[in-house]
Structure 1
């Protein structure tokens, strides 16, 4: 009996047991994996923005940020290798109605690294971190622009969609623009040159508008879909939280850009516009935060309903993390601006929830990656062109 149990344990501990050969890791690698960098990155930022900035939490956040750099580099290498080694199969992603949406996770994951360069790299490495952050931000913005229009174009021309099969993953490619805008709001105050800050803010407001109205229009369609066809299958349960992401990011972007606008606009002789932008930023941030609260409560109720029937684990579970994280950052920012304890307390509760979720999802992802069960490319399985 003991020998049987030992043999079973050793068998479970062998790596990649679900794959016929190790090279399948590359052949089956999809952009969905970049969602891991989004969730890890947002937790690293949230821990460093806890009210009072406790030294221990800041140190843990910095370690997670460094880990996230390695994760992003690994995902980039594996996905690049797939295109190099398995190009005919890799290009099928553009015809897949779900996997193609996850291209948006690439610039959004990169944005968390850029914010980390400002939050953690600047105190450690000085001006060099800012130069890297600024250069990478323009790359991030370019990727967000491409994702925001290319994936909808493929939706309209190559992919098959039905309203009853729609989920909130439609948001992923278009939300990347507002994530980049919010990232610029964190970067801009640290740039010394006033003209550079001005250019960055102008580009960021344009990116915010490039993204948020499209995301809100998708949410309207999503409401109709849920009312007519009810909840999606349990494997897509985490997608109910994705709607919180663009609302939290929209709020955070308006708050950060509005806080920087007065000084930056005044340096260009646009002081009145800067004051207006600051007021609009605060009010718009509150409004989007309020709408996000509605989605937060709704998503919690939906998740409780799913839990009654069971939730199969997949990479989609990372959809629980980034939306909660960015909403927590917006909540903490409102607490800092309005000096209302309610926002601090709620933001702290959200960060604690995010930490627990990250530990759960990261642990199961690590196990699934070790055994190889999470390396599955639906576009290969379904033969999309």
Structure 2
């Protein structure tokens, strides 16, 4: 997800946009992302094939089960670049390739819905939670829907050149997904704010989780920018039996205004959470040594999503202020990705070269979630 959002930021970057250099750079990160995704997918599949009992154990684990939703979100980062860069810019594959990506998106829709409904259901029936141990990672199962929705908006934009019906269908499904994901996300974030006020900030490296609300609010806003544009271009949709709503002359323009206005509201909420997160880092990390952990990757995607939405609003409003701020923030996110990548490779080297090859188990260190009582056996 982190590498995928860097690829996205490169092709939406407001300065040098649509240039061969920026698109090539985005494509490089796309293939890096594809390689990482493929390798770790193979690892995960091998794990559950060789140890099938771990599947149920992980579902029952109140910390690890939340991260199942990152799989479809990772796929979405690949789909977005495949549509906008490979298909639209480099004109690879034509209509068949686009519809292949569209078919993959429907698979991700099913996976995202399963992560949301089954994930939330498992949280209430098979896991033990408390307000004190709550973390922002609770939003991960529902944020999956907002990420899938944004991919649907991107696909609908490309599908408009081939089938207005398919574009409209994809846009409507995207509205359905972002409505559910955003609604549940705001409910959870309300509880999370109460947890922060009552029990204080998460300890150690878990403090990184305070940036996760940017993903929920920012990705929802980004999805709505595409949804609004698609409604404006698709409507009025004329065919026999079309409803007065779909055939209305001004319906598309009204929906675009509503979507862009809502996207700005969500950007404002994301900015609020970003300021809270920076204050939390100042209070926790500055002056205190926090050892590096894999959870530091949680810094990249939420901040990248926030930068992405900022740039999208800059384009929609033709605002230099949004474009400059979004560009600076995107560069900052790239620097974070580079720092975390280098530190991750150094940590991997330490594990490989540790005595007897017995490196520390990454699951034993701090994570994005506070310590909880696990129901996992074994």
- 1:312-353 Cα offsets, whole Å, 9 max, x none, are 222211111111111111111111111111100110111111
> Which residue number corresponds to residue 60 of structure 2?
95
Map 1:272-287 onto structure 2 (within 5 A).
Answer: 272-287=250-265
Size of the aligned set, in residue pairs, is 347
Secondary structure in structure 2 of the residue aligned to 1:105:
helix
Contact conserved, 1:369 with 1:375, CA < 8 A, in 2?
A: no
What TM-score do the two structures reach when normalised by structure 1?
0.86
The Cα of 1:135 is off from its aligned counterpart by 1.3
Q: Distance in 2 between matches of 1:360 and 1:112?
A: 21
Secondary structure in structure 1 of the residue aligned to 2:128:
coil
Structure 1 residues 266 and 377: CA distance shift in structure 2, 3 A: same
Q: Distance in 2 between matches of 1:120 and 1:150?
A: 33
Q: Of 140, 148, 153, which aligns to 1:172? A: 140
> Which residue number corresponds to residue 46 of structure 2?
81
Confirm or deny that 1:238 pairs with 2:241. no
> Which residue number corresponds to residue 302 of structure 1?
280
The Cα of 1:116 is off from its aligned counterpart by 0.9
Q: Of 205, 226, 251, which aligns to 2:196? A: 226
> Which residue number corresponds to residue 355 of structure 2?
none
Confirm or deny that 1:138 pairs with 2:127. no
Q: Distance in 2 between matches of 1:368 and 1:319?
A: 17
Q: Of 217, 220, 223, which aligns to 1:250? A: 220
Contact conserved, 2:294 with 2:362, CA < 8 A, in 1?
A: no
Secondary structure in structure 2 of the residue aligned to 1:153:
helix
> Which residue number corresponds to residue 48 of structure 1?
11
Q: Distance in 2 between matches of 1:119 and 1:374?
A: 40
Q: Distance in 2 between matches of 1:369 and 1:56?
A: 31
Secondary structure in structure 2 of the residue aligned to 1:368:
helix
Task: Return the structure number with greater helix share.
Answer: 1
Q: Distance in 2 between matches of 1:236 and 1:39?
A: 17
> Which residue number corresponds to residue 237 of structure 2?
267
The Cα of 1:226 is off from its aligned counterpart by 0.3
Q: Which runs of 5+ in 2 are unaligned?
A: 353-358, 365-370
Stretch deviating more after TM superposition (120-129 or 148-157): 120-129
Map 1:200-211 onto structure 2 (within 5 A).
Answer: 200-211=170-181
The Cα of 1:224 is off from its aligned counterpart by 0.3
> Which residue number corresponds to residue 69 of structure 2?
104
Q: Of 281, 296, 308, which aligns to 1:317? A: 296
Confirm or deny that 1:326 pairs with 2:305. yes
Q: Distance in 1 between matches of 2:213 and 2:336?
A: 18
Q: Distance in 1 between matches of 2:229 and 2:374?
A: 48
Confirm or deny that 1:293 pairs with 2:271. yes
> Which residue number corresponds to residue 23 of structure 1?
none
Q: Distance in 1 between matches of 2:332 and 2:360?
A: 24
Q: Distance in 1 between matches of 2:74 and 2:319?
A: 31
